C-alpha cells in the first residue's frame, strides 16, 4: 500500500475550507497544507491575535495563500449561533471539526453549563455543523471531517451522566466526547447522504492539547515525556485529516487514522470503535444533542 503524503493532494483552487482550531498544532499543519494547495482556507479561532499569527505564518511560507480567519467560541452556543447566522459565503466545500480540549483535571463548564470536554469537543462542533448545513449542502461535493482520537476506543456514552454531573473522571469525559465525535460523523452521513462525513484520529502527536491538565506537575511531566517518546510530529499527525478532506478514496461510515505501527505515519482506514457502530445510540445522541442546543439558543 502506498503511503499517503501531502504530495498526493491535487490542486484545491476554488474550494472553501473552514477548520476549527486552525491556528495551532494539527489544525495549523492541516490549514498550512490546504492553503498551499490553493484552497480558500478559513481558520476558526477564539483569539484574533492567535488567528493573525497563524495567517502570517502561513503567508510567510505561501505568500499567495488565500487564508483568513473567523472568531467564535466553541464553548458558547450563542457565539456559534451568531457566527453561523452571520456567515456570508455562498458555499462551504469542506468543514474540518478539529479543535478540542483534553484531560481537564477538575470538572469545568462551558458558558452554557456543559462539561467542557463534552461541550466543546462534541456539542460545539455539532452546533457549528448544523448551523452551516445550508452552505455545506450548496457545495457539489461537500465533506465534513471530524477529528476524534484513539480515546474513542475507550469511550462510553452514558445518557445518565452526559454532563458528568453525577461523577467526573477527566479521561472518561474526554474519551466519551471523542466517541461522540465518531458517532456524530457517522450519523451525519446517514441523515445527509449527499455529505461525505467521516471521523479521523491523528494518533499520538506532540501538541498543546493537554494544556488544561491542571497543576499536577508530576503527571504533566510524565505525560509530556511519554508523548515525546511515542508521539509523531504535528505534520504527520495532520495526515489523516488531510486524507479524509481530500482523497477520492474516502467513504462514509469508516474511521481513518495512521496506518503504520504504534499509530504513527501515513493515513488510511483503521478499526472503528465497537461502540461507535451502535446506530441506536448514535441516533439518540443526535436527538439529545439537538434538544440540549435548542434549550440554549431558542
In the numeric block, the cell 493537554 is attached to: 210
**Among 275, 271, 270, 272, residue whose Cα is nearest residue 156:** 275
Catalytic residue among 135, 153, 174, 243: 174
Rounded Cα distance, 274 and 112, in Å? 31
What is the DSSP code (8-state) at residue 109? Answer: B
Strands (E), the chain: 16-20, 40-45, 66-71, 94-97, 143-147, 196-200, 255-257, 268-270
* Other beta carbons less than 10 A from residue 141's beta carbon: 11
**Among 232, 231, 208, 230, residue whose Cα is nearest residue 220:** 208
Spatial contact of 117 and 102, defined as CB atoms under 8 Å apart: yes
User: Is 153 assigned a catalytic role?
Assistant: no
All cell numbers assigned to 288: 439529545
Find how far residue 65's CA is from the centre of its chain.
Answer: 23
CA angle, 65 then 58 then 250, to 5°: 75
Active site amino acids = 174
Amino acid at each position: 500500500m502506498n503511503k499517503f503524503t501531502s504530495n498526493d493532494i491535487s490542486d484545491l483552487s476554488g474550494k472553501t475550507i473552514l477548520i476549527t482550531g486552525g491556528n495551532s498544532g494539527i489544525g495549523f499543519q492541516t490549514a498550512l497544507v490546504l492553503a498551499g494547495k490553493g484552497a480558500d482556507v478559513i481558520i476558526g479561532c477564539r483569539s484574533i491575535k492567535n488567528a493573525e499569527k497563524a495567517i502570517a505564518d502561513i503567508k510567510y511560507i505561501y505568500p499567495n495563500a488565500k487564508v483568513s480567519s473567523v472568531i467564535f467560541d466553541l464553548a458558547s452556543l450563542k457565539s456559534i449561533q451568531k457566527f453561523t447566522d452571520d456567515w456570508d459565503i455562498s458555499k462551504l466545500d469542506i468543514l474540518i471539526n478539529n479543535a478540542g480540549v483534553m484531560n481537564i483535571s477538575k470538572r469545568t463548564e462551558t458558558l452554557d453549563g456543559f462539561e467542557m470536554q463534552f461541550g466543546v469537543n462534541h456539542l460545539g462542533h455539532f452546533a457549528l455543523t448544523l448551523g452551516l448545513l445550508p452552505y455545506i449542502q450548496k457545495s457539489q461535493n461537500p465533506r465534513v471531517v471530524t477529528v476524534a482520537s484513539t480515546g474513542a476506543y475507550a469511550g462510553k456514552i452514558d445518557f445518565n451522566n452526559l454532563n458528568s454531573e453525577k461523577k467526573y473522571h477527566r479521561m472518561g469525559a474526554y474519551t466519551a466526547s471523542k466517541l461522540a465525535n465518531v458517532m456524530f460523523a457517522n450519523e451525519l452521513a446517514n441523515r445527509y447522504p449527499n455529505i461525505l462525513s467521516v471521523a479521523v484520529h491523528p494518533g499520538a502527536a506532540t501538541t498543546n492539547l493537554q494544556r488544561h491538565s491542571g497543576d499536577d506537575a508530576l503527571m504533566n511531566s510524565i505525560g509530556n515525556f511519554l508523548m515525546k517518546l511515542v508521539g509523531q510530529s504535528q505534520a504527520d499527525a495532520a495526515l489523516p485529516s488531510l486524507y479524509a478532506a481530500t482523497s477520492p478514496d474516502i467513504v462514509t461510515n469508516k474511521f481513518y487514522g495512521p496506518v503504520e505501527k504504534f499509530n504513527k505515519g501515513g493515513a488510511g482506514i483503521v478499526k472503528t470503535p465497537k461502540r461507535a457502530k451502535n446506530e441506536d445510540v448514535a441516533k439518540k445522541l443526535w436527538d439529545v444533542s439537538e434538544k440540549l442546543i435548542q434549550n440554549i439558543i431558542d
